Amino acid sequence: MASLKLRYGCNPHQATASLSAQGDLPVTVLNGSPGYINFLDALNSWQLVKELKEASGRTAAASFKHVSPAGAALAAPLSDEMRKVCQLGNLELTPAAQAYALARGGDRMSSFGDWAALSDEVDEATALIIKREVSDGVIAPSYTKKALEILRVKKGGKYNVVQINPSYEPPAQELRSVFGVTFEQTRNARIMTKKDLGNIVTGNRNLSDSVRDDLVLAMITLKYTQSNSVCYVKNGQVIGVGAGQQSRIHCTRLAGDKADIWYLRQHPKALNLPFRKGLSRPEKDNAIDLYLRDDITAVERKFWREAFDREPEVLTREEKAEWIAGNRGVSLGSDAFFPFRDNIDRAAKSGVRYIVQPGGSVRDDGVIEACDEYGMVMACTGVRLFHH
């Protein structure tokens, strides 16, 4: 049995922690000293990007925080607006760099201090993006020599770089221990694909290939998100995740609010804020977040004003509502059935047009009726995707 000693467990006072596996460990630490939570993020995020690559044929990336994705994406060229949202400047982007920039750009606030995962080799362009951001570590199947040189100097040489064997397949049965009791179950090896979208239950049945990709992206993201969970996706980019909520509607609201912020960040007034010179990237992200909110306190407003070299042009509630109303063609996935139509009503406010969910609620008819009222397309897979 191979093993790897870790710094500590979930918290520093949990002093004894390690990884172990029958046979060789599938991971090699190339730099740093990853901890317990780092490896939980690394192994979950790797599974997500590996399955996305297999399902789409495109390079995939994820940005993980506390064992749930803050963002995930498939490689695609970035618009000028999205390049500005992601603070990329004039960096040239390879497919891996595109995927990670989009994964982190879906929710830049939540991605602060993330664990990054790439389905493909990390190249120099991707390493340069990671180097700029506040991040704890990265996992990928390989790294170019130049990329490793860049990453090994991050965080004073302590940045965590993990390489995984891409051909590794875990045992069919998985174990975990809680309070001295061992749980055993068959690993969730169910691969979600476009074939799972065949059961369309709404009157509108039109799904383009790109929308099908988005719905698969939502399903695979949910498979590795702490339940309950709901995920909003647009153009190959996760734009809002509601994770670990006890109520389905709270998942839908939380993820929808994040999707709204993602879209508001692309408003011309948000893209052209007059930041004072020397403001850090995280400080800019925080200032934008406060600028876009309506419920900030006096203390927050003071920070908001200090972030700029002059008073920024106000973005009114009416302007925000009008801008959000322009967001269309959003896809939404849920890891379990919708118990009430309120989820559909909330999703509609954030531009959702396409939905994938397992179905199986006694109130499915009411949910389908709500989708038909909005002209939405909804597919029911019959596959629940709880993850704990």
pLDDT in tens, 333-386: 999 999 999 999 999 999 999 999 999 999 989 999 999 999 999 999 999 999
Single out the catalytic residue among 31, 50, 53, 65. 65
Catalytic status, residue 13: no
pTM (global) more than 0.85: yes
> Residue 132 and residue 382: Cα distance in Å, rounded?
42
Token pair belonging to 291: 């600028």
pLDDT band, residue 296 (cuts 50/70/90):
confident
pLDDT band, residue 298 (cuts 50/70/90):
confident
Closest CA to 385 of 178, 239, 230: 230
E strands of the chain, at which residues? 2-5, 18-21, 27-31, 60-65, 68-74, 114-118, 135-140, 160-164, 173-178, 181-186, 229-234, 237-243, 330-334, 352-357, 377-380
Beta bridge partners, 65, equal 68
Single out the catalytic residue among 38, 44, 160, 228. 228
CATH topology of domain 23-164: Cytidine Deaminase; domain 2 (3.40.140)
- The CATH number for 268-314, chosen from 1.20.1070, 1.10.287, 1.20.58, 3.40.50, is 1.10.287
Topology match between the domains 23-164 and 188-263+328-380: yes
Catalytic status, residue 387: no
Q: Which residues contact 170 (CB under 8 A, 6 or more apart)?
A: 187
Catalytic status, residue 145: no
The count of other CB atoms within 10 Å of the CB of residue 286 is: 19
CATH topology of domain 188-263+328-380: Cytidine Deaminase; domain 2 (3.40.140)
**CB distance 4 to 29 below 8 Å:** yes
| Position 301 pLDDT exceeds 90 | no
For the chain, what are the domain ranges? 23-164, 188-263+328-380, 268-314
- Give the helix/strand (H/E) hosting 320: helix 317-324
Single out the catalytic residue among 66, 155, 284, 387. 66
Catalytic status, residue 160: no
Q: What is the CA radius of gyration of the chain?
A: 21
